[in-house]
Chains A and B, each alone.
Chain A
Amino acid sequence: MNSVSQSIDRVDGKLKVTGQARYSGDHSLPNLCYGYLLQSSIAKGNIQSMDVSAAQHSPGVVAIFTPFNPLKIYSPAQAGEEGAISGDVIPLLQDPAVDYFGQTIGFVVAESFEEARDAARLVKTEYQTQPAIVELQSGLGQAYAPKSVSGMGATVSVLADGVTSIDEALRGAEVLVSATYNSPIEHHNPMEPHATTAIWNGDRLTIYDATQWVQGQQRNLAAVLGIDEANVRVLCPFVGGGFGCKGSMWMHSPLTAAAARVLNRPVKTVLTREQMYTAVGHRPTVRQTVTLGATKQGELTAVKHEAYSSSSRVKFFAEAAAHRTSLALYKSPNIVVTHEIVPLDFAPGTFMRAPGVAPGMFALESAMDELSVKLGVDPVELRLRNYATAEPVHKLPWSSKHLDECYRLGADKFGWSQRRPEPKSTREGDWLVGHGVATALYPAHRSHAEAKIRFQSDGNVSVSAATHDLGTGMYTVLAIVASEALGIPVQRIRPVLGDSGLTLAPVAGGSQSTASVSPAVVAAVDSATKKLISVAVSGAKSPFSGMKPSDVSYANGVLQGGGKAVPFEAVLAALDRSAVEGSGTASPGEEEHQYSFLSFGAQFCEVRVNEWTGEARVTRFTSVMDVGTVVNQKTARSQVIGGIVFGIGMGLLEATKVDPNNGWIANRNLAEYLVPTNADIPHIDVEFLNIPDTKFNSLGVRGIGEIGIAGVPAAIANAIFNATGTRVRDLPITPESLLVEQKGMA
């Protein structure tokens, strides 16, 4: 059965397009009531009073919880500490302090969503306001080096023998480029808003929750609600996009569960789009300075990458832009990365698609383009001259790296050789045309996972694990991997996921689900077939009764032995058994210490910039990816295309706009927080090398969830430079940056 690396339709596609897939907000239950978050309208201070009298008399109101009438929530913890891990660290509603604009300060429950919303607006809150620092620029004076950034120190230094500092190495460089790059706060904006429906049955909680991690949510909810983990079941069979903002527990979930417990009724809370801008995380704003020293031939001799990222004063989060990029991409005898945190009176940040990597690659790959211009060396050639054959810090060899092939194949497919290096040398009518390239990379992660395989008497086989499908295609991946290992068609596989009661699987984050769960599925197939054989030889009515297990074999859905070949469902029927199941586990092992694991890609784009009015539009995109085995060409391509669209948004459109005076967010909706429309997206050509990384796992699979975005903003900025001669170092790149010269004056 050749199921892997084919192009297979989503097995859950029909459920989705016919509206039968039920998301976390789709559950209606008898006696259900609705929760609504009330959020602060100041950035810092204290709540002096909350007058809820009018709200309490508003139609349909069931209860109003505030810091003066709280729901009990225990404290979560910072990463690395004992206790639940949460996107929020302060347990909301427990005290009257306000630490950021849009902080949840009340929870209104009513018979309908609309009644809860109306009542929330009737609550009169009086604040004592304190000055707030809400902009990176204003907070730089308070910047500090954190204890840890992406599992490393705040400063990581690789210096050649005899070199005492990176600045010394830079001073000795023949050619130097140095520039500062800025990226704004960005929001995930998954199409599905966060939604939670909590149902208590005695002391047992069943919760339908939009999450990228059902088992993490189970653990964290139990901790902050003060109940036993075994009494919490989290269900999330479908997720309408996560991009990281559903990877942590956010306080609306325990508040909903706590209210349902107190009220003894099921409660459903669906966040509004506006609430999602402060209640469920964002990508921090980052300022980076990249300084590259090189020889005249373009060999890097020193790389210095300094990053400052914003973090909520009440929840530490580091957007590890320098650590996750400059320590991994280029060969250089001297590399130093530093990171400082700029604490702001702003909502908590969190992981957002390619955390650290997306802004970091914008800076590093823009700087490489600046170096290529200064040296007069082709940008692809410059990258090949600095190709790292081993991971630059610990010098571990790569498990599998074919980035050079990505550059060459991508250049060929894109037609890179036709590019004119001189800016403003290609125009079509009013439009200046430019071509740019950037590298994409993302670490390959893998965690321990367990899966279960169940041979069913109806002739189907179920495959299950507590993993997730965020729209990524994980249902189909499970079906394909099981199909391949079992030798039976995908149509006969029944994948099950999104339930905390299933076997252990990691968070759907860090691009690790397929690499973690697939090997466990293969192990489970092995275990289940052994079990099937054992049952077949021991049952009296079995066609294989009495044979030695070693004389019976399984292949392609059929048991064979003693001259007989019987489909497993017939064996089960003969035994009068509904099913036989087995589970298997898979973990990373010794290879973790022997190799470095990274996915790579080369991303090329064509951008047109109107020379009168400065709009930049991407008109062509080619991306060649080295991500190991591609389990499903179709959903993998979709995911990389989605990443590239995400990157086009980051490059040209996306920015959360914060009023510097009060922390108010100006564009908390999808009309004013701009993401690309179809009209902004050209044909996107995605090609996979599809070279298995079998040192990483038996299937050779690495992740693809995040890498698609990684090189896109830099590729666009570099293409814009090639088109216009203007280097834009601040994202997003909007027309005002490109109005520099009058048309016709060139």
Chain B
Amino acid sequence: MKAFSYTLAVSTEEATNAGTQSDNNAGGTNLVDLMKIDVMDPKELVDINQLPMRGVTLDDGVLRIGALEKMASVAEQPEVVQHFPVISQALLKSASAQLRNMASIGGNLMQRTRCGYFRDVVMPCNKRVPGSGCPAFAGENRMHAILGVGDACCATHPSDLAVALVALDASVNLQGPKGTRSIKLDDFYLLPEDTPDREHAIEPGELITGVTVPQTNWYQRSAYLKIRDRESYEFALCSAAVALDVDGLKIRDARIAAGGVGTRPWRLPEVAQALIGKRVSQETFEHAVEIATKGARPLSQNGFKVTLLKRTLTRALVHVGGGVA
């Protein structure tokens, strides 16, 4: 761990005016971990835990979550459990109880990949050291992405919450030296392409202050399915966030995203589109998910994710769609 200065921010302005060598720390479950292994080395660490970015409210059809809310507390909020089960489930299937008690919502959205090459400074990594190369393509890549893979990077985005949020068209609220703005979370995450070190559409000094999720009644019919090697404390091999608007047996609308397969949380609007107007049935789902793997680039050890993604989506849709014979 390299030497760094530590500041307790008492105002949001103070945090956003910190220098470009600074990083913001909330729960510390990811950043401090990465600092200990020298993967991240901010010169200045700004503790933002005193900032007023808290609260979970559901008013006027919008769910607002403060960036400093803990994962555990958001997962248990009655408004979230009742109206956005996919969000609650994604949170509860993340990490461990101890981590969920510490980790913040903003930090969760900013967490870095678990790619082992990224996390070990003795290895090359284009995300950590641009241009140094990526050994994962010819090495250990079972857990890596099949979608959004460029030539420079194939690491997955690790967040479960982000998958649920992009499915529901959530936005992040940002505050920076130039003021505040809000952008769709789906636009917030960047494909690695030639610059895998740049993961977010965040500007220097900008801070996530919160998340907003538009409410529709049918989000109550949503779920998060996470497939993993073990039952707890494990990242997704593949996950699916699905919400269905069903009228009788007819699908009126759908929101779908996948995790564990993409270099960023992977929204699947074409699958949703393929479901609209169709009748709820296993065949409908199996047909619709075929398009999910369009453009997939399986690697030496993770070709199974092509099948697993379709199966995971179908299983989640059957679960949420219900009434399937």
Bound pair (A, B): yes
For the complex formed, measure the closest distance between the CB of A230 and the CB atoms of chain B, giving whole angstroms.
42
* CB neighbours of A744 from chain B (8 A): 282
Give the bracket for the number of chain A residues in contact with chain B.
35 or more
Residues from 600 to 631 in A contacting B, C-beta threshold 8 Å? 610, 612-615, 617
* CB neighbours of A742 from chain B (8 A): 286
Determine whether A717 belongs to the interface, using a CB cutoff of 8 Å to chain B.
Answer: no
- 15 of the cross-chain contacts (CB-CB < 8 Å) are A117-B1, A118-B2, A121-B121, A430-B315, A613-B311, A614-B308, A615-B228, A667-B140, A676-B230, A677-B233, A677-B234, A679-B231, A743-B311, A743-B315, A744-B282
CB atoms of A666 and B315 under 8 A apart: no
> Considering the chains assembled together, what is the distance between the CA atoms of A145 and B256 in angstroms?
56
> Considering the chains assembled together, what is the distance between the CA atoms of A652 and B228 in angstroms?
11
Determine whether A49 belongs to the interface, using a CB cutoff of 8 Å to chain B.
Answer: no
* CB neighbours of B122 from chain A (8 A): 41, 664
Determine whether A659 belongs to the interface, using a CB cutoff of 8 Å to chain B.
Answer: yes
CB atoms of B227 and A615 under 8 A apart: yes
Contact of A680 among B116, B123, B232 (CB under 8 A): B232
Determine whether A139 belongs to the interface, using a CB cutoff of 8 Å to chain B.
Answer: no
CB atoms of A612 and B232 under 8 A apart: no
For the complex formed, measure the closest distance between the CB of B107 and the CB atoms of chain A, giving whole angstroms.
17
* CB neighbours of A610 from chain B (8 A): 315
CB atoms of A613 and B116 under 8 A apart: no
Determine whether A67 belongs to the interface, using a CB cutoff of 8 Å to chain B.
Answer: no
Residues from 158 to 200 in B contacting A, C-beta threshold 8 Å? none
For the complex formed, measure the closest distance between the CB of A637 and the CB atoms of chain B, giving whole angstroms.
23
CB atoms of B114 and A735 under 8 A apart: no
Contact of B230 among A653, A659, A666, A736 (CB under 8 A): A653
Give the bracket for the number of chain B residues in contact with chain A.
20 to 34
Task: Please name the 3 residue pairs, one residue from A and one from B, whose CB atoms are nearest each other, closest first.
Answer: A736-B304, A679-B231, A41-B122
CB atoms of A612 and B315 under 8 A apart: yes
CB contact under 8 A between A677 and B139, given known A612-B315, A735-B308: no
CB atoms of A739 and B311 under 8 A apart: yes
Determine whether B76 belongs to the interface, using a CB cutoff of 8 Å to chain A.
Answer: no
CB atoms of A739 and B304 under 8 A apart: yes
Determine whether A662 belongs to the interface, using a CB cutoff of 8 Å to chain B.
Answer: yes
> Considering the chains assembled together, what is the distance between the CA atoms of A41 and B121 in angstroms?
10
**Nearest B residue to A664 by beta-carbon distance?**
B123
> Considering the chains assembled together, what is the distance between the CA atoms of A561 and B229 in angstroms?
68
CB contact under 8 A between A662 and B308, given known A671-B114, A678-B232: no
> Considering the chains assembled together, what is the distance between the CA atoms of A617 and B228 in angstroms?
11
* CB neighbours of A674 from chain B (8 A): 229-230, 234
CB atoms of A660 and B139 under 8 A apart: yes
> Considering the chains assembled together, what is the distance between the CA atoms of A208 and B102 in angstroms?
35
Determine whether B130 belongs to the interface, using a CB cutoff of 8 Å to chain A.
Answer: no
CB atoms of A734 and B38 under 8 A apart: no
Determine whether B150 belongs to the interface, using a CB cutoff of 8 Å to chain A.
Answer: no
> Considering the chains assembled together, what is the distance between the CA atoms of A615 and B117 in angstroms?
26
> Considering the chains assembled together, what is the distance between the CA atoms of A674 and B233 in angstroms?
9
CB atoms of A612 and B135 under 8 A apart: no
Determine whether B312 belongs to the interface, using a CB cutoff of 8 Å to chain A.
Answer: yes
**Nearest A residue to B314 by beta-carbon distance?**
A612
CB atoms of B138 and A661 under 8 A apart: yes
* CB neighbours of A667 from chain B (8 A): 116, 140
For the complex formed, measure the closest distance between the CB of B260 and the CB atoms of chain A, giving whole angstroms.
11
> Considering the chains assembled together, what is the distance between the CA atoms of A239 and B315 in angstroms?
45
A121-B38, A677-B234, A742-B286 provided; 18 other pairs, C-beta below 8 A?
A: A41-B122, A41-B123, A613-B227, A613-B238, A613-B315, A614-B308, A615-B227, A661-B135, A664-B123, A666-B116, A667-B116, A674-B234, A677-B232, A732-B229, A734-B229, A735-B308, A739-B311, A743-B311
Q: Which of A41, A617, A671, A735 has the most CB of B within 10 A?
A: A735
Contact of A652 among B121, B138, B229, B307 (CB under 8 A): B229
CB atoms of B139 and A735 under 8 A apart: no
For the complex formed, measure the closest distance between the CB of A613 and the CB atoms of chain B, giving whole angstroms.
5
For the complex formed, measure the closest distance between the CB of A136 and the CB atoms of chain B, giving whole angstroms.
16
Q: Which of A114, A617, A679 has the most CB of B within 10 A?
A: A679
CB atoms of A114 and B230 under 8 A apart: no
> Considering the chains assembled together, what is the distance between the CA atoms of A480 and B140 in angstroms?
50
* CB neighbours of B282 from chain A (8 A): 743-744
For the complex formed, measure the closest distance between the CB of B155 and the CB atoms of chain A, giving whole angstroms.
12
**Nearest B residue to A612 by beta-carbon distance?**
B315
**Nearest B residue to A677 by beta-carbon distance?**
B232
Contact of A662 among B1, B135, B286 (CB under 8 A): B135
**Nearest B residue to A40 by beta-carbon distance?**
B122
For the complex formed, measure the closest distance between the CB of A122 and the CB atoms of chain B, giving whole angstroms.
10
Determine whether B237 belongs to the interface, using a CB cutoff of 8 Å to chain A.
Answer: yes
* CB neighbours of B151 from chain A (8 A): none
**Chain A 641-669 interface mask (CB, 8 Å, partner B; 1/0):** 00000000000110001111110101100
> Considering the chains assembled together, what is the distance between the CA atoms of A672 and B228 in angstroms?
12
* CB neighbours of B304 from chain A (8 A): 735-736, 739
* CB neighbours of B237 from chain A (8 A): 735
* CB neighbours of B227 from chain A (8 A): 613-615, 735
For the complex formed, measure the closest distance between the CB of A405 and the CB atoms of chain B, giving whole angstroms.
34
**Chain A 577-614 interface mask (CB, 8 Å, partner B; 1/0):** 00000000000000000000000000000000010111
Residues from 228 to 256 in B contacting A, C-beta threshold 8 Å? 228-234, 237-238
Contact of B232 among A118, A614, A661, A679 (CB under 8 A): A679
**Nearest A residue to B122 by beta-carbon distance?**
A41
CB contact under 8 A between A612 and B229, given known A660-B139, A661-B138: no
Determine whether B120 belongs to the interface, using a CB cutoff of 8 Å to chain A.
Answer: yes
* CB neighbours of A658 from chain B (8 A): 140
For the complex formed, measure the closest distance between the CB of B195 and the CB atoms of chain A, giving whole angstroms.
24
**Nearest B residue to A118 by beta-carbon distance?**
B1
* CB neighbours of A653 from chain B (8 A): 229-230
> Considering the chains assembled together, what is the distance between the CA atoms of A582 and B230 in angstroms?
52
**Nearest B residue to A102 by beta-carbon distance?**
B122
**Nearest A residue to B96 by beta-carbon distance?**
A677
Residues from 667 to 700 in A contacting B, C-beta threshold 8 Å? 667, 671-672, 674, 676-680
**Nearest A residue to B238 by beta-carbon distance?**
A613
> Considering the chains assembled together, what is the distance between the CA atoms of A614 and B307 in angstroms?
11
